[in-house]
Structure 1
Amino acid sequence: MYWVKKPFRLMIVSLKKLRGHPEVVARGIAVGVFAGCFPFFGLQSVMGIVLASLVRGSKIAAIAGTWISNPLTYVPILFLNFKVGQWLLGIETTSTLQDRDSLESFLALGPELVITLLIGCCVVGAITGVIGYFASFYFLRRLRKSKKNIADRVN
C-alpha cells in the first residue's frame, strides 16, 4: 500500500514547501487539478501554468495539481469523464468501444467520442478543481496557523 500513499505524501510535502498566500497557492492547485482531468498527456502542466497565470495563482502549485493524473489514474479519470459526458449529453451507454467491429466504425465515432470526453473533462475538472481549491486552502491555512503558533510559543 506504500505505492498508493506515496503520491499523496509527495504532494503534501510539496505543498508545505510552497511559499505565498494560501489563496494564491490554492488557486494554482485548483487550476492544476482542472488541467489534470484532461487527456492532453504532456500538455497538462502547460495548461495548468497558463490557467494559473490567468487566475493569478501559483504556477508551481498548478504543476503539482496536475499530478492528480498519473499512470495509475489516467484510465479511471478518463473513463469517469467519458461516462459523465455521456450522461450529460444523454448518449446511450449501450454503444461502447468494445462493440466496434471495424476501424471505420471506430473512426466514425471520432467527433462524438472527443466531444463527449471533453465535456466530461470540463465538468469533472471543474468539480474537482473547486474541491481542490477549498481543501488546499483549508489545509494551508491550518498549516501556516500551526507554524505561527509554534513560532509564538518558542519566542
Structure 2
Amino acid sequence: MLFKRRTQARLGDRIRGFLWPRRSFLRSARYFTKRVLRLTAAPHAVAAGVAAGVFASFLPFVGFHFLIAAIAAFLLRGNIVASALGTAIGNPITFPFIWAATLGLGRYILYGQNPGNLVPLQLGQVMTQLDIVQLWEPLIKPMTVGGIPLGVLVAVVFYSLTRSALVAFRERRRMKFAARPHRASGSLL
C-alpha cells in the first residue's frame, strides 16, 4: 500500500477516530464535499446519487443504508458512489435528530395528535433479544412512515444544492483551465 502507517494504530485510537475525527468535523465535511464535486459523472447523476444517499439515511434500517441508497440511485439513474457518499449525512451526531424527527412525524401521521405510549416498557429486553416483531409497531413502523416524507424533502434540497454546486464548480474549473497558457505540443520545455 502506498500510504500505509509505519506503526499500526491501536484499536482504541481507531474507534475514537471513527466516532470523533482527529482533525475536525468541518474538515471531514469538506473532504466529502470535494469527493462529490470531483466525481466525473453528469451533474444529474451525481446529484441524484447524493439525494438517494440522503433519503436512505432517513430510514430506520441502519446497516442497510448503502444498499437502499444504491438501489434508489440506480432507479433514479444516479451515481452509486455519490449515493454512498450521500449516506454520510446520517452519522452518530445527526442520527438522534433524524430519528426523533422521523418518529415524531410518523406517529403523528399514523396515530394523530395523541399517540399513546412512545416505546414498549421492556425496551432493553427487546433490544437484547433483537425481537423485530415487538419493535415494529412502536418504533420501526412510525420511523419508516415518518422517514419517507422527511427523507424525500431533504433529498430534494440536497439534490438542488449538489447540482447547482457541481455546475458552478465545473464552470469555475473550466474557466481556470481556459485561462492557462497553452503549451505547444511536442515541446520539451
TM over 0.5: yes
Pairs within 5 Å for 1:17-56: 17-56=38-77
Higher relative contact order (CA 8 A, sep 6+): 1
Query: Which residue of 104, 120, 123 corresponds with 2:149?
Result: 123
1:52-104 CA deviation, whole Å, 9 max, x = no partner? Answer: 1111100000000011111222221111111111232314256333xx5446x
C-alpha displacement of 1:3? 2.9
Query: TM-score w.r.t. structure 2 length?
Result: 0.71
Deviates more, 1:138-147 or 1:108-117: 108-117
Q: Is the 8 A contact 2:60 2:140 kept in 1?
A: no
**Matched AA of 1:95:** N
Quick check: 82-91 or 44-53, which moved more?
82-91
Higher Rg of the two aligned structures: 2
Aligned residues: 151
Task: Give the alignment partner of residue 117 of structure 2, picking from 89, 95, 99.
Answer: 95
> Please, which of 107, 116, 121 is the counterpart of residue 86 of structure 1?
107
Match of 2:31 in 1: 10
Q: Distance in 1 between matches of 2:179 and 2:24?
A: 37
Residues 18 and 85 from structure 1, CA distance in 2 versus in 1: closer, same or farther, beyond 3 angstroms? same
Distance in 2, matches of 1:53 and 1:143, equals: 24
Residue in 2 that maps onto 1:133: 159
Structure 2: which 5+ residue stretches go unaligned?
Answer: 1-22, 127-132, 182-189
Letter in 1 for 2:137: P
CA RMSD of aligned residues (A): 2.2
CA–CA separation in structure 2 for the residues paired with 1:60 and 1:39: 21
Structure 1 residue 132: deviation in Å? 0.8
For 2:140 and 2:165, locate their aligned partners in 1 and report how far apart those are by CA, in whole Å.
36
Taking only the aligned residue pairs, the percentage that are identical comes to 25
